[in-house]
Amino acid sequence: MNLPATMRALQMRGLNQLVLTTLPLPSLKTDEVLIRTMATTICTSDLHDIKTNPFGIKLPSVLGHEGAGIIVQCGSDVKTFSTGMRVAAHPVVPCGICEECRRGFGHLCLNMGHLGIDRNGTFAEYFVQRADRIRRLPDSISFPLGALLEPVANCLQAIARAGDIKGRVVLVVGDGPFGNIIARLAIRAGAARVLVSGREPFRLGMIPGAEIVDSGPVGSVDVAILAVSSSAAVHTCMASLRKRGRLVVFSLINEPVPINLFQLHVSELEIVGCCNDEERMDESLRCLEDPALKLSELVTQEVPFENWEEAFYLARDRHDKALKVAITFN
């Protein structure tokens, strides 16, 4: 296959500074594949990175970590993939040798690599990923839908961390893409009731089967899942839990939040964290294919790469009409 020497990419050069630029095509290690990007979706965390760079990404850097495309080149050690295959990537790259990786917690790797954080990501015409971190996409899954491989895997982790929710009452605080996916997965996992609170009527209207509740404590839920980065929402979750209830901290909270340990003690509450996912790519693929989940509804706009500014505007400022925005390439 004839590959170009350069590619167009969106490079972050400073806070609130994204620039369309031309970069050399990324080079490949022996266990990696080069993917021609067909779709990449904008994550809330990309928007945070652009605004405040909370992870201290070394700039300039190409952001983006939710991508799908076509393999155009394979490293010499790659046996299970070949050029022309349709694939989606998971951005997390565990080292495989640290203490946490050896314990089976690759998603909590101490030397974690991550597309769009410590290496160039998917907001470009091409990106590279280690072959064990990609999956083939069946033809029934479009590229924009395939780009949701990782966010859906992350949300499956939230369901797993919630424990056995069959027949239970689950509160999801947050109506963004993650809250939406988590609510759908909670229904799929057999929760008796799934309550969702949020701010945006358009987004709240996009979660079939969930009951919309006011923000603020609702009382007597078994599980509360924090899917918005707000300390007020932490209090809502805590105040909503029944005895022996569990809070799953899914969203990143960047500030210390006071917790009422008296309440935790007398109600035997649990608080668990949830970060990345424990190898849930295959389960995520099954969810993407599941007609009952209708996850393709999540991609509300597909915007050509040329119009990337519009894509970021929609994702950042138009919560009244956008949920997940995909940037597409041809």
d(CA 124, CA 1): 19
Stretch that binds Zn ion, among 27-35, 100-108, 133-141, 267-275 (CB under 5 A): 100-108
Closer by beta carbon to Zn ion, 65 or else 184: 65
Which span sits near Zn ion by CB under 5 A: 2-10, 45-53, 128-136, 260-268?
Answer: 45-53
Q: According to CB under 5 A, which one of 47, 72, 98, 160 is a site residue for Zn ion?
A: 98
The answer to whether 276 and 107 have CB atoms below 8 angstroms apart is yes
**At its nearest, how many Å lie between Zn ion and the CB of residue 160?**
18
* Bridge partner residues of 62 (DSSP): 11
Q: Residue 234, interface with Zn ion (CB under 5 A)?
A: no
Please answer whether residues 161 and 105 qualify as being in contact, where contact means their C-beta atoms are separated by less than 8 angstroms. Answer: no
Q: Which residues contact 308 (CB under 8 A, 6 or more apart)?
A: 10, 18, 20, 123, 327
45 sits near Zn ion (criterion: CB under 5 A): yes
The reply on whether position 173 binds Zn ion by CB under 5 A is no
Alpha-carbon distance of 222 to 107, in angstroms, equals 26
Neighbouring C-beta atoms of residue 155, cutoff 10 Å: 30
Q: How far is the CB of 172 from Zn ion (least distance, A)?
A: 17
Q: Which stretch binds Zn ion (CB under 5 A): 27-35, 41-49, 275-283, 306-314?
A: 41-49
CB of 142 vs Zn ion, minimal distance in Å: 19
Please give the distance of CA 11 from its chain centroid, rounded to a whole number: 20
Which residue type is seen at 42?
A: I
By CB under 5 A, the count of residues binding Zn ion is 7
**Burial of 278: CB neighbours in 10 Å, binned 0-12, 13-18, 19+:** middle
3-state secondary structure 176-228: CHHHHHHHHHHHHCCCCEEEEECCCHHHHCCCCCCEECCCCCCCCEEEEEECC
Please classify residue 35 by burial: count the beta carbons closer than 10 Å to its beta carbon, then call 0-12 exposed, 13-18 middle and 19+ buried: buried
Asked if residue 47 binds Zn ion (CB under 5 A), the reply is no
Question: Shortest distance, CB of residue 258 to Zn ion, whole angstroms?
Answer: 28
Minimum distance, C-beta of residue 65 to Zn ion, in the bound complex (Å): 6
Q: Is 109 in the site for Zn ion (CB under 5 A)?
A: yes
We find the least distance from the C-beta atom of residue 91 to Zn ion, in angstroms, to be 7
Q: Which residues pair with 73 in a beta bridge?
A: 34
For Zn ion, which is the closer residue by CB, 94 or 144?
94
Does residue 204 interact with Zn ion by CB under 5 A?
no
Q: Does 101 bind Zn ion (CB under 5 A)?
A: yes
> Is the Cβ of residue 91 or residue 245 nearer to Zn ion in the bound state?
91
Q: How far is the CB of 44 from Zn ion (least distance, A)?
A: 7
**Interacting residues with Zn ion (CB under 5 A):** 43, 45, 94-95, 98, 101, 109
